[in-house]
Amino acid sequence: MIINSHDTVDFVAIWQESMRDWKGHLPERMSNDTLEENFWKKLIDKKSLHTFEDPYAKQIQAHLAPMLAKEDEVLEIGPGWGNYTFFLSNHVKRVTGVDSSQHILDFLKEVQVEKEIHNLDLVHQKWEEYAVAHKYDVVFGINCFYRMFDIKGALLNIHHSAKRLAIIGMTSGPIQPHYVDLHQKYGYQIKWPRRDYIHLQNILYDLGIYAECKIIKLERTYRFHTFDELIQKNKQKILDLSIQDQHIEQALQPYIKFENGAYTYKHDFHAALLYWTPNV
């Protein structure tokens, strides 16, 4: 499909449709706060107070650092387990983190005490429902939009809450390459990524917000301790009900190494940072 500048494309509708599962239903976790809280509890229970950041977060932090000023007051949306929260607290005057999960906030408070951080405030609230009391120098959020059905309202809230800079982002594709091979060679139907940073940039554009975009190249290494784990976890994005494991094995072969008693799979992907100066 060719789109010119005079076409009308409803990118909000595209975003909302992509929130549905592959059967066209909105997953219950998207609207059920109890299920969402249980999801985060299971993840947080596996986290350590000392090694909680995802390895790739350091590379994104390096791109964020020049965008921050020591006197900034920063509002972080959906801090999760703190990939950027404590980095921010070391670079700016004060950080306020807003998250809908109490388990997330309890974990962050434990890390805060452990690290003796005194310039961090934590708020238990959904961003879509949060009434910002005053503007912040910087409003920041990455990978925090997956439950935000009213994405237009969420982005406008960011825009109106920032004084100097708004920064949002998502980790992005491409999908692990063996899935492409499985689709091309054997015709398997794949759960291709459906929401991406480009949707956010287009929604901002429709709102009259012209955001800069910075693409950051990243790498993640997956480790699997058994061959069965390798096969089972690397067919989860296949839609077909009938899957032949030998096809998975053959597709994985070019990308897998056996190192130190484990199968490793390196996957190149990206992060996109969108940032703009609000009209104060």
The tens digit of pLDDT for each residue in 58-87 reads 999 999 999 999 999 999 999 999 999 999
pLDDT attached to residue 4: 63
pLDDT attached to residue 280: 60
pTM of the model: 0.92
Domain residues of the chain, as ranges?
11-176+192-219+269-276
pLDDT attached to residue 7: 67
pLDDT attached to residue 279: 78
The parts of the chain modelled with pLDDT lower than 50 are none
pLDDT attached to residue 50: 87
User: How far apart are the C-alpha atoms of 221 and 262, rounded to whole Å?
Assistant: 11
pLDDT attached to residue 123: 97
pLDDT attached to residue 6: 55
The CATH code for residues 11-176+192-219+269-276 is 3.40.50.150
* Cα 244-172-195 angle, rounded to 5 deg: 80
pLDDT attached to residue 172: 93
In b/e form, how buried is each residue of 255-274, taking b as 16+ CB within 10 angstroms?
Answer: bbeeeeeebebeeebebbbb
User: How far apart are the C-alpha atoms of 142 and 104, rounded to whole Å?
Assistant: 15
pLDDT attached to residue 202: 97
